[in-house]
Structure 1
């Protein structure tokens, strides 16, 4: 019957009792199945990891610029790897590297980007790094508080 119509007999659920088979064009079926998989992969948005590199003797303004970049990436839902790159004998002053990382995290908090540490500070070769992501519940609470304050200020003015 399937051959007469130019279709294939495809077993859809082999584990079912009785097994289920469909009459369909197998080439078209495979094409539509791969198309659905591609569409599903495209819609799946995994948080990508971006890196912000700096040196232990970074200046204040440069640190703020790097923090703004990290804040933008975190707000977009990406994870950020904050790395301190040591050169030469700087590696003996790891405490300074840790201070810079904590300064960066404080600057992010001041820019109203709450963070959660996903991977604690670790040293790999001449790099000291930490991986952070946006703390979504805390960010939502901050946004709600800002909206409430704005509404209250609007009522007081009106």
Structure 2
């Protein structure tokens, strides 16, 4: 809330330099702000009495937006990359897929390894589980299994994350 929006009887006022001017009525605080050609901004509405500060509101909003942007910049988003395999995959193809997964893991992403079953391959689901175990074994030096292999419909998948 700024300027005329502040309807409290008494407010604790802080000057633009940061020193406390004491507790006064909202009207007096508004007059002080107008004399300084600045805005009266309610900083802590839950306090008893509410705390208001005499500052340039546009500059204040800009500073808040900048701080928020900096905080967002420092956040790290983790993507989940997917590596798809089939039950009758050959060793060289498997090695290529493992190398791709290793690349994703070193960049800091999670890797979802999916084994896709088509048609009659569904009859041999349990025999094909060893492929996912082999992938986990090959990536054991850089990755740890976050979610173990689980069958969901026609896909069996597990999630790997980078070792800490």
For normalisation by structure 2, the TM-score amounts to: 0.73
Q: Contact 1:121–1:128 at 8 Å: present in 2 too?
A: yes
Q: Deviations over 1:2-37 (max 9, x none)?
A: 223332111112233443211122233223212221
Match in the other structure for 1:127: 155
Trace 1:7-156 onto structure 2 (pairs within 5 A): 7-109=38-140, 112-113=141-142, 115-136=143-164
Q: Deviations over 1:13-71 (max 9, x none)?
A: 22334432111222332232122212211210032211111111111011111111111
1:86: Cα distance to partner? 1.0
Structure whose residues are more often helix by fraction: 1
Q: Contact 2:108–2:162 at 8 Å: present in 1 too?
A: yes
The runs of 5 or more residues in structure 2 that have no matched partner are 1-31
Structure 1 runs (4+) greater than 4 angstroms displaced: none
Q: How many residues align?
A: 133
Structure whose residues are more often strand by fraction: 2
Q: Contact 1:10–1:21 at 8 Å: present in 2 too?
A: yes
For normalisation by structure 1, the TM-score amounts to: 0.75
The runs of 5 or more residues in structure 1 that have no matched partner are 137-158
